[in-house]
Amino acid sequence: MRLKNYLIVAGFAAAALFGGSPAWAGQSDDPSAAPAPSECSADAAPAPEESGAGTDPCEVPSEEALAEEEALAEEEALALEEALAEEERQREREEAGAPEPMPADPNYTG
Amino acid sequence: MRPTMSARSTRALTSLTAAAALAALTACSSAPADEPATEEAAADTAGNGGGAEGVEIATVLGDGIDVRAEPGGGEVLHTLGSPNDFGVDRTFLVERNEGEWLQVLLPVRPNGTTGWVRSDEVSLTSTEYRVEIDTGDFEFTVLDGDEEVRTGVIGTGEGETPTPEGRYYFTELLQPPDPEGPYGVYAFGLSGFSETLETFAGGPGQLAVHGTNDEDALGRQVSHGCVRVSNEDITWMAQNLPLGTPVEISG
């Protein structure tokens, strides 16, 4: 059980550390490099019927789209942070041997 | 083609490395030094006076347990279900450990009743925490071994419904639906009962240590027998004290 918790925490930590750069060395010489402008030439662009959604892959994303992406990334980061914090609280509670509170209406002598 | 010696050596080295990594991982999951290494080891610990060395807490493994008058068998005094009426695993404070049999404090009337249960029907843990409640000084103290780790003001039972003295333990931790209600944010049920009220609010007159919605009333006799503490104190207790923690109430 403890080992499982350690592995979960280690998994989250690894995801947080390496999540942004999952590429293997052999997959790209320079993973951070932007696509070459020449790929966006008229010849390379797929025909509208081939592209499905009809969007131009070389189109520069609008500010709105960028903001949306940023918000989404922030949300994801926040969710990950919360999950890690909850995991940490759970671990501390287990280490302290503290019980999980049972939601119930007490009928003690007050 | 048969593998060369070099290839064999490489494979052996890889296997050894994997074995070492596995051994390291397994070692990381072993219990901390202050916890019993195994249940058997904990069960072999003789005596459970509640001093600085801590106490043992028994949690029922099955859906119920027979409590007997004597170790080794004899009359069944009680059969207690698990989980208890609040849906929490049944726990006991171990007063004496005789290997196969454990003398435990029971959450039944009259207060202070003990009985014997088989050690293979429970799991054992331990704690060095204990709570001392002084109804005369309206004060509680939490000790970790010999060290005082928290103190605070309490409210106690009124004249006709006093808080009975005795040795108890926490039986469950409840989170009331209304945190601004009379029980505050958390309530730890105790193994003891009021000696003047047979029932209360539809319950069996069970005592508790709980928070409050009237912290100005602490330091006085205000309750029907329960011990009231501030919401901050009960939150600390909920985050730190396990079920089974001994609670000594004295006047």
Report DSSP letters for A10-56, one per residue.
HHHHHHHHHTT----GGG-S-TTSPPPGGGGSTTTSPPHHHHSS---
CB contact (8 A) between residue A109 and residue B189: no
Confidence label for B112 from pLDDT (cuts 50, 70 and 90): very high
Asked whether the predicted pLDDT for residue B37 surpasses 50, the reply is: no
| Minimum mean pLDDT range among A94-103, B52-61, B156-165, B200-209 | A94-103
Chain A residues within 8 A of B201 when measuring between CB atoms: 107-108, 110
Which residue in the set B173, B208, B240 is minimally distant from A108, CB to CB? Answer: B208
The pLDDT value recorded for residue A28 is 47
Domains, chain B, ranges and CATH?
Answer: 7-48+128-250 (2.40.440.10), 55-127 (2.30.30.40)
Return the structure tokens found at B100. Answer: 């196969």
Q: What is the pLDDT, as a whole number, of residue A19? A: 59
Q: Do A110 and B194 touch (CB under 8 A)?
A: no
Q: What is the pLDDT of residue A70?
A: 92
Report phi then psi at B135, rounded to 5: -70, -25
Q: What is the ipTM of this complex?
A: 0.77
Angstrom distance (rounded) from CA B62 to CA B72: 19
B184 Rama class: left (phi>0) / alpha (psi -120 to 50) / beta: left
Nearest-CA distance B177 → chain A (Å)? 6
Q: Give the model's pLDDT for residue A62.
A: 84
Nearest residue, CB atoms, A104 vs list B31, B174, B241: B174
**B25: nearest CA in chain A?**
A3
All residues of chain B having their beta carbon less than 8 Å from the beta carbon of residue A98 are: 238-242
The mean pLDDT values, 10 residues at a time, for chain A of 110 residues are: 64 62 50 47 46 54 88 93 82 78 96
Pick the closest to residue B191 from B50, B84, B87, B69 (CA basis): B84
Q: Which of B10-19, B26-35, B182-191 has the highest mean pLDDT?
A: B182-191
Q: How many CB pairs under 8 A join A and B?
A: 94
- pLDDT (tens digit, 9 = 90+) per residue, B187-228? 999 999 999 999 999 999 999 999 999 999 999 999 999 999
Alpha carbons A39 and A58: distance in angstroms, whole number:
8
Alpha-carbon torsion (B110, B112, B118, B122), positive or negative: positive
CB contacts of B125 in chain A (<8 Å) are 97
Average pLDDT over residues B158-165: 97
